[in-house]
Structure 1
Amino acid sequence: MTDGNPESLRQQQTRLAAELRSAGRTWVETADVFRDRFRLNPRVALRVVRGWSQAKAAEEWNQRWPNEPKSFKSFSYWEIWPGKGGYSPSQDNLARLAELYECSVADLLADLPSFRHLDSATASTPVTTEGVKPGLAGEIMVPSEAEILLRDLLGRRPNADADAPPQAEAAGLYRRPEEVNFAELAQVITMWMQRVPHPQTRRDLLGKLTAALAVAATAPLTELTGFTDSATAAPTLTDPARFEPATLAHCEAMMPNLRKQGDVLGAAATLPTALAYRRLAEQQAKAAPHGPHRDHAIATYAELTQLAGWLCFNTGDYHTAQRLYDDARTAAHDARAVELVTYILCTMSHLATWQGKPRIGIDHAAAASAWADQTSSPYARAYAADVTVRALTADNQNHQSKQALDREYAALQAALADQSPSQSWWYFYDESFYWATNAQNALKFDGADRIMAATEKALKISDQGNLHERSFRLLYRAEAFAQQQNIGVACQTISEVVELTSVNSTRRIEQRVQQLRRGLDPWKRTRAVRELDQAINAYRSPPLT
């Protein structure tokens, strides 16, 4: 405790590790304490005791073995394993992990089951793996920060009633975002859902989690009492008519977090916070003096307005999304933010195409391409080509859509080779996004082989934490299986999406699931479709029709 403020999780862990090491404990002994106190698996604990994030662990690895580089994703997969979504480390990688953490390979695998008790020579009392602590029914050892946050959201502590209502407190939660990796949080949510055995219990738990996450999402703006020491507390405007650069900087810094929050927690949970920050940015834009400060403030307002429009799009409120996009485009033009204008026009094209108006989508995409040519950003040119592909595909223009795909691929290669910093809103656009659009095009014009190859590439290299994009890519694959009349696998894939998006489903994902399910009506009496309907009813409330 410091000055009456509770320690953050990271501070608790740092202090405990220092105390244990000062007392002469080894890294393995310290990790055992962390496993017990913070409910970590050994691979997580051996990293956390050193105060390393997954990115820092990858950096340390790459310094030792530059010819076998790893990213934070590799550590994430190893730490989630043996849960679904994780990958087991190879023997060589286990040996290097052990060297990195100064432990034995067995220490890294201490959470795996032991079957020594099956040996007739073993005493009758079952033997458990040393150091493994029994968990709550339906739970699994998972990465630390995200798991602790989820327990706080659900009001669940060891030995707590599984049906206890959420006990999330905004005052504590809004100080946590800097400790939580959104990709890790997404993986933890998915793992929890897959381990809760009973559909009704799962639905109840997810209902509580959704409500609690909504509280957490709005928390940064629920207790605004002016500037605080917290790095994540949003400042209030003591005088809305006064320009405050710190307030504007805070609004700008929040945008990448809000975008990722929308990908993981869903549009509905994120929209209230995005709108609140948009209001702050609007006040700053009105108060800013003419010149660079004003242009900067207007551009920040434009980007937050586009973000709010995107979230409304995903909730199915297309009218409000269009209104916000129009406002965002006007503001971006006023700020002379050409690359932002390009991005907003691209999202307007996407909205029109999704609504069944591909020719309007083509118009917006053409305007986006024209503005993109005035920028130095290969991302702007690539994404403008991407939305052009989707609009042309929806308008049944096969040859022209293939030409746009070629333009997108060329711009993508330039973007991947570009070493200069890119604007934060391009965080979602990478090679996997190109292959997902390629799959959409193949679904319209080509055979199963190209569809499967494109979806396989998109899923293999995609960000596992972006549940929104991953869900759509899985649905492309499900549609391909349905076209092949491989109904069992199509149903399994759709069920995976329904399960994956139990917490963060959006109206657009719901619409695609409904559309694909209607396409399976000729097989509605088969076991595969009946099991799909059961999954939909278990995870969706009210059930889809």
Structure 2
Amino acid sequence: MPRKPRSIKEEMDRLTAELRERGSTWIEVAEEYRRRYRLNARQAFREAHRLTQERVVEQWRELWPSEPFSVRKLGSWEAWPGLTGNEPPVAGLNRLARIYGCRACDLVDGEDHTGSDQNANVPRRRDIPTTPGKLTLTFSDIQDILPTQPLPGPTSPGEPRDREFEQLVHAFTDWATQMNRRDVLALIGAAATSAYVSPLLDRLDAEESQRLRMAITDPNRVDDATIAHIQAILRHSMRQEDVLGPQATVATVLAQQNLVLSLLSAGVSAHMRGRVLSLLADIHRCTGWMLFNLNDFRGADYYYAQARDAAHQADDDAMCGMVLANWSQLATWRGDPRLGVEHALGALAWGRRAGSKMLTAYACDVGARAYAAVVRRSAKAERRKDHSRCFRSVDQAERELHGADEGDPGARLVPFYGQGQYLSTKTGCLLDTGDPARALEVAGAATAGIDPTFVRNVAYIRLKTAQAHLDLRDIDQACEELGEAARLAERNTSPRLARSVVETREKLSPWNRTRSVAALDERLYTARLIA
């Protein structure tokens, strides 16, 4: 017989562990806390997770470093509707819901007036079909729509693919039971096609395809033309990703990664090994970039580390600089701008060593973003220094960009970077350092200067413009720009972009009842960005 808990804390620890072991959801665990300990919803969810208020604040700051939050504010939200509490805004509830793994409405102790609805307790008429409580989406339903092509890449005889496939399908089935049947089948069909079909050889003619097959059979046959073919496919995949988002291209890039790894493991000639390693570094870098846009930040971090190692082995200075610049952007986005500065300085050093003004400009660009984020977190005494460093980096990026010539050795790695993208970064820095009026002026030139085929980049300058209007309390224009960003998010389906759109919308919560925000919500709902 288990001993009696010595304290309420130990009792709660044991309760959460037991309920989760039985398979209870966080909503069910919190409901038991509310019943047993007479807590309100916000207190119950925090205690269910066995989190202190300090730990919740830490998680908030990790996820949203630009949004100030404190133990005192959380405590006032938890105390509401008591006399000492403050009503939490919808945006705050949405963020707490993400931390607690629930819905925002689960965190509100609202009144239930469904009893006043005359139809609430009346059986439905026969001419109104009832919605089944659970869909019967079967294994065969999904299996029938999956493509029949084998997975790309070599398969060892003992590899348990059939079992993994069955587990994957059953996982999809469990997830899909609460969704519309037709939409689920279409979604899984598209996802399965992306995972199975790799257009690695689609754009090669017969002679080029034969060359690649011979290289795979005998790695000593790898030559400059073989490398150029794979590079061309990689460049094409990245351009597709710029337009459509990472879901459309990540399978192709992973297939190329498997191909290049197989060539290296089989042994390429000594004089080609450096070029193949440089190609592998670029593939790892592109994979990291796509995972970044899929919001898989840990995966992106792993692949950037792999890319850096391969670039060092290849003695490729330009690739080292580009990898570190991408890595800097990831670190800053994840809320670690000091690491972002560190990576940016490394990128700057390697870009200069490579003799590339384009890579030097881009390193200064990502460094400026990192310094701008540092400004938000700095003590008052340090902010002026970090502000100066930020805009010195901005100015240096412009000088290097204008000094680059057509033969720049790093230009192929930054086809997206030009005057428009530089101005977009400057807009963000002005916003982060508290100058929305100036940011709005620069944003107009940035929007006009960005190549429209880089859809996500255009969407992000629209989001920055919306933020500038919001800071200036021009809500109608903020909604217009945010709606345009949402339209672009339908074309480039990057989850990172979609999240950015939704998080910007949450900042409009104080104006939820205005016509412009209501119209914006209709656009976001149509774009399937909000429920």
Question: Within 1, Cα distance between the matches of 2:442 and 2:192?
Answer: 35
Could you tell me which amino acid in structure 2 is paired with residue 320 of structure 1?
G
SS at match of 1:501: helix
Alignment of 1:534 with 2:512, yes or no, is no
Deviations 1:151-180 (A, max 9, x none): xxxxxxxxxxxxxxx9x999xxxxxxxxxx
Aligned partners of 1:254, 1:312: CA distance in 2, in Å?
Answer: 18
Question: What CA deviation, in whole Å up to 9, does each residue of 1:438-465 have, x standing for no partner?
Answer: 0001112243331112111111111011
Residue 358 of structure 1 pairs with residue 346 of structure 2:
no
2:490 aligns to what SS in structure 1? coil
- For 1:544, what is the secondary structure of its paired residue? coil
- SS class of match (1:370): helix
Name the structure 1 match of 2:464. Answer: 476
CA contact (8 A) 1:350 1:387 kept: yes
Sort the Cα spacing of 1:322 and 1:233 in 2 relative to 1 into closer, same or farther, 3 A: farther
Distance in 1 between the 2:195 and 2:207 partners?
A: 16
Which of 429, 441, 450 is the aligned partner of 1:441? 429
Contact 1:478–1:490 (CA<8 Å) still a contact in 2? yes
Aligned equivalent of 1:431, options 419, 427, 452 = 419
Q: For 2:372, give the aligned amino acid.
A: T
Shift of 1:292: 3.0
1:229 equivalent in alignment to 2:217: no
* Residue 283 in structure 1 maps to residue 262 in structure 2: yes
Of the three residues 268, 276, 284, the one matched with 1:305 is 284
3-state SS of the aligned residue for 1:427? coil
- Between the aligned partners of 2:457 and 2:325, the Cα distance in structure 1 is 17
Q: Deviations over 1:472-497 (max 9, x none)?
A: 01100010111111111111211111
CA distance in 1, matches of 2:302, 2:517: 39
TM superposition shift of 1:434: 0.7
Q: Answer whether contact 2:320 2:350 (CA < 8 A) is retained.
A: yes
For the pair shown, the structure with the greater C-alpha radius of gyration is 2
1:362–1:388: 8 Å Cα contact kept in structure 2? yes
**Deviation of residue 289 (structure 1)?**
3.7
User: Do 2:466 and 2:481's aligned partners in 1 also have CA atoms closer than 8 Å?
Assistant: yes
Is the Cα–Cα contact under 8 Å of residues 342 and 369 in structure 1 kept in the other structure?
yes
Q: Counterpart in 2 of 1:91?
A: none
Distance (Å, rounded) in 2 between the aligned partners of 1:471 and 1:539 = 14
Aligned: 1:244 with 2:222: yes
The CA deviation at 1:391 is 0.3
Q: Where does residue 258 of structure 1 map in the other structure?
A: 237
- Give the 3-state SS of the residue equivalent to 1:502 in structure 2: helix
Q: Does 1:348 align with 2:337?
A: no
Q: 1:327 to 1:240 in 2, by over 3 A?
A: farther
Looking at structure 1, the residues matched to 335 and 369 of structure 2 have their Cα atoms a distance apart, in angstroms, of 11
Q: 1:250 & 1:339 partners in 2: Cα distance? A: 20
- 1:228 CA displacement: 5.4
Query: Whole-Å Cα distance in 2 between the matches of residues 511 and 234 of structure 1?
Result: 43
Cα deviation for residue 211 of structure 1 reads 6.5
Q: SS state of the match for residue 451, structure 2?
A: coil
Compute the displacement of 1:328 (Å): 0.3
Q: Of the candidates 496, 503, 511, which is equivalent to residue 508 of structure 1? A: 496
1:453 to 423, 441, 447: 441
> What RMSD over aligned residues (CA atoms) do the two structures have, in Å?
3.2
Provide the C-alpha distance between the structure 1 equivalents of 2:514 and 2:373, rounded to a whole number of angstroms.
Answer: 31
Q: Answer yes or no: is the 8 Å Cα contact 2:331–2:340 preserved in 1.
A: yes
One-letter amino acid of the counterpart of residue 362, structure 2: Y
- The change in CA–CA distance for 1:232 and 1:444 in structure 2 (over 3 A counts) is farther
The offset of 1:287, in angstroms, is 3.6
How much has 1:285 moved relative to structure 2? Answer: 2.8
How much has 1:233 moved relative to structure 2?
A: 9.8
Q: C-alpha displacement at 1:368, in angstroms?
A: 1.2
Contact 1:256 1:424 in 2 (8 A): no
Structure 1 residues 495, 211: closer, same or farther in 2, change over 3 A?
A: farther
How far apart are the structure 2 equivalents of 1:419 and 1:209?
44
Instruction: For 1:230 and 1:398, locate their aligned partners in 2 and report how far apart those are by CA, in whole Å.
Output: 56
TM-score (norm 1): 0.58
Task: Report the counterpart of residue 346 of structure 2 in structure 1.
Answer: 367
Distance 2:210 2:475 in 1: 50
Q: Which runs of 5+ in 1 are unaligned?
A: 1-165, 171-203
Q: Distance in 2 between matches of 1:490 and 1:272?
A: 36
Structure-2 separation of matches of 1:328 and 1:238: 22
Q: How does 1:104-503 map to 2 (within 5 A)?
A: 215=193, 219-221=197-199, 229=206, 235-236=212-213, 239=217, 243-245=221-223, 246-396=225-375, 397-415=386-404, 417-420=405-408, 422-503=410-491
* Structure 2 unpaired stretches of 5+: 1-144, 150-181, 376-385
State how far apart, in whole Å, the 1-side matches of 2:510 and 2:204 are. 61
Tell whether the 8 Å contact from 1:477 to 1:493 is kept in structure 2 after alignment: yes
CA contact (8 A) 1:299 1:331 kept: yes
Matched to 1:532, the amino acid is L
SS class of match (2:249): helix
- What amino acid is aligned across from residue 239 of structure 1 in structure 2? T
The structural deviation recorded for 1:529 is 1.0
1:389 partner amino acid: A
Q: Which amino acid aligns with 1:380?
A: L
Distance 1:220 1:504 in 2: 20
- Aligned-pair CA distance for 1:240: 7.0
The whole-number CA distance in structure 2 between the counterparts of 1:263 and 1:214 is 21
**Residues in 1 aligned to 2:412 and 2:406: alpha-carbon distance in whole angstroms:** 15
Deviation per residue, 1:187-245 (Å, 9 max, x gap): xxxxxxxxxxxxxxxxx99x979976985897554788x98528789944653765533
- Residue 284 of structure 1 aligns with an amino acid whose one-letter code is L
CA pair 249-373 structure 1, distance change in 2 beyond 3 A? closer
Identify if the C-alpha distance between structure 1 residues 259 and 232 changes in structure 2 by more than 3 Å, giving closer, same or farther: farther
Distance 2:332 2:476 in 1: 30
Contact 1:259–1:307, Cα closer than 8 Å, also in 2: yes
Counterpart residue identity of residue 229, structure 1: A
Percentage of identical aligned residues: 28
Q: For the residues of structure 2 that align with 1:432 and 1:292, how far apart are their CA atoms?
A: 40
**Cα offset for 1:339?**
0.6
CA shift in 2, pair 1:212/1:488, >3 Å: same
Aligned AA for 1:413?
Answer: H
Contact 2:291 2:299 in 1 (8 A): yes
- Alignment length (residue pairs): 343
Match of 1:373, SS state, is helix
Secondary structure, aligned partner of 1:316: coil
Letter in 1 for 2:393: A
Q: Deviations over 1:78-133 (max 9, x none)?
A: xxxxxxxxxxxxxxxxxxxxxxxxxxxxxxxxxxxxxxxxxxxxxxxxxxxxxxxx
